[in-house]
């Protein structure tokens, strides 16, 4: 399968992303306007499309372009999982021309995906993540 990459989300792609986003347990309940705001305020947004042009993968990055890049919302559509799409998304991010100076890539993931990301070179951090939620 040939993967095609996008970094711009026009209105039709935004609707497609929202529908795609809404399928996951951890993104259900997010409002369309909030998803659009996330797109507009992330430093890098990356869509992965199939040969047919369908959105099959997504991720976004917040970064200072030097020291850290935080990867969020890595999603691969269910029928395309276990076919290397998630790996391709992470490779695309780590190889992105705007992120070449970044020293540390970090991401959040559910416990069941830790082994997958460890296989891509990520390691659990010893630092504590503190959270304040509204």
Catalytic annotation, pick one of 18, 32, 108, 117: 117
**Residue 32 catalytic?**
no
Residue 24 exposed, middle or buried by CB count within 10 Å (0-12, 13-18, 19+): middle
Cα distance between residue 113 and residue 115, in whole Å:
6
The total of other beta-carbon atoms located within 10 Å of residue 73's CB is 19
Cα distance between residue 102 and residue 66, in whole Å:
4
75 contacts 59 by C-beta, under 8 angstroms: yes
H helical segments located in the chain = 11-21, 32-41, 85-94, 114-118
Active site residues: 117
């Amino acid at each position: 399968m040939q993967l095609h990459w996008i970094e711009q989300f026009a209105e039709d792609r935004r609707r497609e992303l929202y529908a795609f986003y809404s399928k996951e347990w951890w993104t259900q309940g997010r409002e369309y306007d909030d998803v659009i705001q996330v797109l507009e305020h992330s430093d890098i947004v990356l869509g992965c499309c199939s040969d047919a042009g369908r959105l099959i993968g997504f991720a976004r990055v917040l970064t200072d372009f030097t020291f850290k890049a935080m990867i969020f919302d890595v999603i691969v559509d269910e029928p395309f999982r276990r076919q290397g799409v998630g790996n391709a998304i992470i490779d695309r991010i780590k190889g992105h021309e705007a992120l070449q100076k970044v020293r540390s890539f970090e991401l959040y993931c559910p416990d069941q995906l830790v082994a997958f990301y460890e296989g891509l070179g990520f390691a659990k951090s010893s630092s504590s993540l503190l959270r304040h939620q509204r």
